[in-house]
Amino acid sequence: MISTSWTKKRDEKKRRINAVKHLVENIFIKRENIVETLQVLIQPGDRVVLEGNNQKQASFLAEALLQLDPAKVNKLHMVMSSISLPEHLDIFEKGIAEKVDFAYAGPQSLRIAQMLEDGILKIGEIHTYLELYGRLFIDLIPNVVLIAADKADRLGNLYTGPNTEETPTIAEAAAFKDGIVIVQVNEIVDELPRVDIPSSWVDFIVEADQPYQLEALFTRDPQNITELHILIAMLTIRGVYEKHHVKSLNHGVGFNTAAIELLLPTYAQSLGLKGKIATNWALNPHPTLIPAIESGWVDTLYAFGGEVGMEQYVAARPDIFFTGRDGSLRSNRALAQVAGQYAIDMFIGSTLQIDKNGNSSTVVSGRLAGFGGAPNMGHDPRGRRHSSKAWLDMITSKDPLAHGRKLVVQTVETFQNGNTPVFVETLDAVEVAKQSNLATAPVMIYGDDVTHVVTEEGVAYIYKAEGQEERRQALAAIAGVTSVGRTADPKTTQALRERGVVAYPEDIGVHRTEAKRSLLAAKNIKDLVEWSGGLYNPPAKFKNW
C-alpha cells in the first residue's frame, strides 16, 4: 500500500509560520517587520486574496505587498473582488504578481485595460461577486489572505464594524483550508464592541500606521441630479414600481436611482404609493434614501457594506438597519448578494452600453470596469419558489406550470456625457473579449434576463415582447436618435404602445413639464444632513457650506 500524506497543506502552513517566529510576538507582527514577514509567509506562485472591495481597502497590506522583492516573491495569482488602488496594479508592473481574477475595477478600469494590452498582466476571469466568493471554496482556494478590520483584541478576535462586507467570507476560505490569514487593524484593544471574526480564524495581526482606506462610493450629491434624471425617475416610478407593486428591491449606483429615492417622499407620495412600493431593500445605506426613511417609506434595509458618514445615522435607526448590540451596522456582501439574487423582486441599475437585443455591459473599449454584483442581482434566478405580486406579474403565459420572474430594469439616458450613444448595434465587450483573449464576452446583464428598459423617451416592457424581432422594435422605440433608435418603425411602435409593450410618458400619466428639481426631497448634501437631524456626517469633499 502506497503511503500518502493527507496533511501537506497543514504541514506547509506550519513550516511558514515557524519560519517567522522571530519576527512576531505571539500572533502580532511588528509594523516595521511586516515586509520581511510577508516575504516569508508568501511564496512564489501562491494564490493570494487581497481585500479590496467597493469601499474598504486593506491599504496598509497592499503597500507592504508592493515592497516585496520580486526575486523572492513572484508569479502570484491575485484574487481581488475590486481592483481599486494603484498598488493593486503596481504589483504586476513590479513583477510580484502575474495573474488576477476580479469582479470590479472601476477606479483602475483604464489602466488595467492598457496593462492587459501591454501584456503586463493576465486575467483569469471577470466575475460577479458571488461567483468569485464561491470559487474561493472550490478552485481558487487561497494560500494567503490579506484582510482589514477595525479592531483586534489581545486574543486575536476581530471587530469589523459597519464595513464587515466580504471579510468573513475571505477569512473562512483560508482558515478552514490551511491557508494563512493576515489582518491589518486600525487598533488593538483590550475589549471589542462585538466579535465579528473569532481568533481561531486568524493567524497574524498587524496594527497599521493609519486606518484602512474607505471610499464613499454610494454617495450621490443631489445638486448633480438633472431634470432628465428626474424624468426617467418619474417614468420608472409610474411605469414600473406602481404598475407592478414592487416592494422588495435593490438600487444600483447612479443618479437615476438617486433621483428615484428622492422622489419617493414627494412625487410617489402624491400618487398615494406609500406602503405599496419600495418597502424592503437590499442596499448600502445611501444618503439619498434618508428623506424616504424619515418619511416612513422604508421598513427594512440589509446592507452589502457601510457608507462613509452614515455610521451615526444607521446606529440611530435600528428598526430599519441590521445592527449589533454595539449599535453599529452589520453588513455582509456575500449574504446581501444572495438576498439580492433570490429574496428581492427587482433589481434596477444602469449601464454604459445596451445592444439592439438588450444585452448590456460596463466593459467598453479602453475601459475594463468589470461589473461587480449586477449580474448576480440582474438576472432571473430560476431556483426561486416564493411568490409575490410583482414576481407573479411577470407571467405572460396561461400554462399551469408558468412561474414569475424577477424584474430586471435598466434605466439609461439615450446618450452619455460627450454625446456617446448608450444604445449600440454591437457591444464593445465583444471586441474586448477578442483582444484580451477572454473565453466569453464580458456581458454584464444578458438581454433575455432584462424585463424593462427605461429612457427619457419611455418604457419598454420587453418581457411582454413576442420574439426577438419584437424585442428589438420595443428597444428601438425608446432608444431616441441613436443608431438603434433610428431603426424603429412608427407603425410597429404604435402597435406596441397599444398592446402595452411600449409606453411613452403620456401613456402612463407622466408630464414632461413636471420633471423639475423642485420635486426632489433634498436638493443638496446639506439638505440630507438636515433631514437626518444632523446624524449624517458627509465626507469633506461633499461639504460646500
Gyration radius of the chain over CA positions:
24
CA–CA distance, 167 with 361 (Å, rounded to integer)? 27
Closest among 14, 16, 55 to 38, alpha carbons compared: 16
Gap between the Cα atoms of 412 and 415, Å rounded: 8
Do residues 133 and 124 lie in contact, with contact meaning Cβ atoms separated by under 8 Å? Answer: no
CA distances from 178 to 148, 168, 282, 337 (A): 19, 16, 33, 26
User: Do residues 445 and 374 touch, judged by C-beta distance below 8 A?
Assistant: yes
Question: So what's the pLDDT on residue 368?
Answer: 81
Name the burial class of residue 315, with classes exposed (0-12), middle (13-18) and buried (19+) by CB atoms within 10 angstroms of its CB.
Answer: middle
Q: Which domains are assigned to the chain?
A: 18-213 (3.40.1080.10), 222-528 (3.40.1080.10)
Specify the pLDDT at position 371.
84
Q: Could you tell me the three cell numbers for 167?
A: 471579510
The full DSSP string for 39-56 is: HHHS-TT-EEEE-B-SSE
Among residues 180, 212, 183, the alpha carbon closest in space to that of 85 is found at 212
- Is the full-model pTM beyond 0.85? yes
Residue 30 DSSP symbol: P
3-class secondary structure per residue, 163-184: HCCCHHHHHHHHHCCCCEEEEE
CA 139, CA 151: separation in Å to the nearest integer? 31
- Residue pLDDT tens, the chain, 545 long: 677 899 999 999 999 999 999 999 999 999 999 999 999 999 999 999 999 887 899 999 999 999 999 999 999 999 999 999 999 999 999 999 999 999 999 789 899 989 988 999 999 999 999 999 999 999 999 999 999 999 999 999 999 999 999 999 999 999 999 999 999 999 999 999 999 999 999 999 999 999 998 888 889 999 999 999 999 999 999 999 999 999 999 999 899 999 999 999 999 999 999 999 999 999 999 999 999 999 999 999 999 999 999 999 999 999 999 999 999 999 999 999 999 999 999 999 999 999 999 999 988 888 888 888 899 999 999 999 999 999 999 999 999 999 999 999 999 999 988 789 999 999 999 998 888 888 889 999 999 999 999 999 999 999 999 999 999 999 999 999 999 999 999 999 999 999 999 999 999 999 999 999 999 999 999 999 999 999 999 999 998 88
- 506, 459 contact by CB (below 8 A): no
What pLDDT was estimated at residue 530? 98
pLDDT, position 475: 98
The answer to whether the beta carbons of residues 87 and 64 sit under 8 Å apart is: no
Q: Is 440 exposed, middle or buried, given 0-12, 13-18 or 19+ CB atoms closer than 10 A?
A: exposed
Instruction: Output the pLDDT for position 369.
Output: 82
